[in-house]
Structure 1
Amino acid sequence: MERIKRVIEWLKDNDHSMAFIQDKTSIFYLTGFYCDPHERLVSLLLFPEAEPCLICPNMETSLVKEAGWTGEILGYSDIEDPWLLVRQAVEKRNAVLTSCIVEAPRLTYARVQALQDAFPAIKLIDGEPFLMELRKQKSAKELTTLKEAAALADYGVEVGVQAIQEGRSEIEILALIEYELKRKGVRDMSFGTLVLSGDQSANPHGNPGQRTIKKGDFVLFDLGVVLDGYCSDITRTVAFHHVTDQQQDIYETVRKAQQAALDACRPGVEIRTLDQIARTIITEAGYGDYFPHRIGHGLGMEVHELPSLNETNTDRLQKGMVFTIEPGIYLPSIGGVRIEDDVVITEDGYQTLTNYPKNLQIIT
């Protein structure tokens, strides 16, 4: 309930009447209850001067209790209107609604209309920045889970590298990775696993397919797992059988850029500095036009969250922040290299959570 208390204090400090939280990740962060409700409404209602309540389908009420929620639960069946329960909860608390906090980027237009129909005089205010700010610095418990998730990502890359064979397809290797992770107890991946080879590795977010591994290919792995609600995200690139001088130069440039960005990670450093350091190294090596994305992104309950590690972000690193550092170079017809680690800011520096080796491996 400590996280909920912080939101309620924020409501009080800013004279907001209610918070309408309906994103599944936000609800999990605040209550410990996670489900994917599909089109059904699951909502946490928070008030500055009244008890909170959670609205969910009847089929989820037992799981809400198992998660440790001790507040009011309002359940509904598939033939009932959950918005009636929202109105009833407000009326029961004699709340006078003038403003309501919502998660604007995650709220559908249909739900905006439903809220405005239920409370015509209400003003909707985006509370997403505040909620995301709460999640930026991880607790010791969160860091333990993130480290375990990162170790599983390391294992996934290990399985993928060991599965490389001439004539074996990207999708076959991908299936082997996910099969072995399932055997470790992983239920969900953080995102669609990438195994990209040859010229396909030059597409940062390409689609694994039936292309088979050939001698001289780069093979790029990008994967992560979800463990107890927290994500990991790792990228490693290896070569099969042999590399050209240009391929080796590309790889070493990315490795050097990543290490330089990592070396700058410590509390108080402007976030844009990390991107600028890596981008300068890649640009001076002649590959600046082939590094098309930011240096990294925040990591936690979602695989992409705050902070955004781009070259214009002037926010400063803080102890407990977790994010990725992932420079890349992608040359059409030749292939791409990306090296990505999960990183936590410590008292006076950083620690990488992912630890699979980063020296250029040539698989034979």
Structure 2
Amino acid sequence: MAINYQNRLETLQKSLENQDIDVAMITSPANVFYYTGFNSDPHERFMGLIVDNRNQEYTLFVPALDEEIAADESIVKQVVPISDEENPFKKLKDTLGENITSFGLEMKSVSMYQHNQLVTHFPEASYVDIQPSINAQRLRKSESEMGYVQQAVDIIEKVLAEGIKKVKIGMTELELTAELEYLMKKYGAEGPSFSTTVLSGEKSALPHGSPSDRPFQKGDFLLIDMGVIRDGYCSDITRTFMIGEAADKQKEIYDIVLKSNQAGVKSVEAGVPVKTFDIEARNVINAHGYGKYFNNRVGHGLGIEVHEEPSIHEMNEDPAEQGMVFTIEPGIYIPGFGGVRIEDEVYINESGKVEVLTSFPRELQILGG
């Protein structure tokens, strides 16, 4: 599953030329990885890929402690280390010189501090947002990327299948979370792609709730939302279960969410507006009178990041394209009662048709009885 980083860099360079950008600075770790193969979180230290269009050169600036691994992993072999006592922006200026009129930046990634440093060291430059060009390039996943995404999906589904065998009444949300995250590493993941969500009973109505020491009780919803990173690519899946038994209203809500999930998935194809997938899923929930309990978008893109383009919401007029990977994850969340979410990952293939990457069963399962 080899990835051609050189092609990616050349595509970016042409885009910068079309925008008359002299120099671009890429600081988002996800984008640095996308273009170089070097995957690292520098934390508070500076890391940046510099694309110099004046001489078609690429330079990777990294914290000094990462120099060796960057030189090994990055396709960009001109690696400049920055030690902790150095000012990275002075080092940038020493390397690039002063005759820069147009500087490309990812505006969402650049802090006010970084902006002030750039203005101080490159006072003649104007700044252009290159985030849209990068997003457009990353939007369509290659066959190699799909292999990595599928690998991450396969691992998380093994984790889920094995993890739910541990569920029993009296176990806490945090205890199950620990079991699941242990299994992630056991099955070859680098780690979770986001904070593992295990919510039970009334807490399952909190779409972004956190696991606690709440013990599982008979008749609880159990919502598990998790994913892993493997070889730099993410997965994300949600399934909702019942513990011990299911009441009629719980079954009814589950069935509506499942129908909504399937309607969303079935509507996916290239050429139609992205909003279609949200609307088709939402219409099912609205038709059953639960619309006010579903107040977030139906999905999001994923790949190197667990949340990236496209955003699957009812106002997104952009046409769906071949190569897009995203989630379909409708839910009904009733405060004080509980919630259900069923989340799948889908891909628009070369024929413009939907392929569902997740295969974990969607019918209601009762656990820990």
Match of 1:350 in 2: 354
1:58 paired to 2:64: yes
SS at the partner of 2:285? helix
Match of 1:25 in 2: 30
SS at the partner of 1:105? coil
What whole-Å deviation, never above 9, does each CA across 1:177-223 have from its counterpart, x for those lacking one? 11111112222211100110000001011111011111111100000
Of the candidates 307, 310, 318, which is equivalent to residue 307 of structure 1? 310
Q: Is the 8 A contact 2:103 2:125 kept in 1?
A: yes
Report the CA distance between 1:323 and its aligned residue: 0.3
Of the candidates 270, 287, 291, which is equivalent to residue 290 of structure 2? 287
Of the candidates 196, 207, 211, which is equivalent to residue 193 of structure 1? 196
Match of 2:92 in 1: 86
Supply the distance in 2 between the matched residues of 1:294 and 1:241 (Cα, whole angstroms). Answer: 31
Supply the distance in 2 between the matched residues of 1:248 and 1:52 (Cα, whole angstroms). Answer: 57
Of the candidates 49, 54, 62, which is equivalent to residue 49 of structure 1? 54
Report the CA distance between 1:88 and its aligned residue: 1.7
Report the CA distance between 1:348 and its aligned residue: 3.6
Match of 2:83 in 1: 77
Number of matched residues? 361
SS at the partner of 1:207? coil
Q: Is the 8 A contact 2:173 2:215 kept in 1?
A: yes
1:34 paired to 2:39: yes
Match of 2:366 in 1: 362
Q: Which amino acid aligns with 2:122?
A: F
Supply the distance in 2 between the matched residues of 1:133 and 1:188 (Cα, whole angstroms). Answer: 27
Match of 1:254 in 2: 257
Q: Is the 8 A contact 1:287 1:329 kept in 2?
A: yes
- The 5 Å alignment of 1:214-225 reads 214-225=217-228
Of the candidates 199, 205, 208, which is equivalent to residue 208 of structure 2? 205
Report the CA distance between 1:70 and its aligned residue: 4.2
Q: Which amino acid aligns with 2:96?
A: V
Supply the distance in 2 between the matched residues of 1:72 and 1:88 (Cα, whole angstroms). Answer: 15
Q: Which runs of 4+ in 1 moved over 2 A?
A: 68-71
Superposition RMSD in Å: 1.2
1:320 paired to 2:355: no
SS at the partner of 1:144? helix
Unaligned runs of 5+ in 2: 1-5
1:161 paired to 2:167: no
Unaligned runs of 5+ in 1: none
CA shift in 2, pair 1:208/1:70, >3 Å: closer
Supply the distance in 1 between the matched residues of 2:167 and 2:74 (Cα, whole angstroms). Answer: 45
Match of 1:111 in 2: 114
Supply the distance in 1 between the matched residues of 2:257 and 2:76 (Cα, whole angstroms). Answer: 50
What whole-Å deviation, never above 9, does each CA across 1:72-113 have from its counterpart, x for those lacking one? 22112222222222012212xxx7211111111111110001
CA shift in 2, pair 1:70/1:16, >3 Å: closer
Q: Percent identity?
A: 39
Q: Which amino acid aligns with 1:2?
A: N
Q: Is the 8 A contact 1:204 1:330 kept in 2?
A: yes
SS at the partner of 2:71? helix
Report the CA distance between 1:279 and its aligned residue: 0.8
Supply the distance in 1 between the matched residues of 2:159 and 2:212 (Cα, whole angstroms). Answer: 18
SS at the partner of 1:52? strand
Q: Is the 8 A contact 1:153 1:354 kept in 2?
A: no
Supply the distance in 2 between the matched residues of 1:117 and 1:152 (Cα, whole angstroms). Answer: 47
CA shift in 2, pair 1:187/1:70, >3 Å: closer
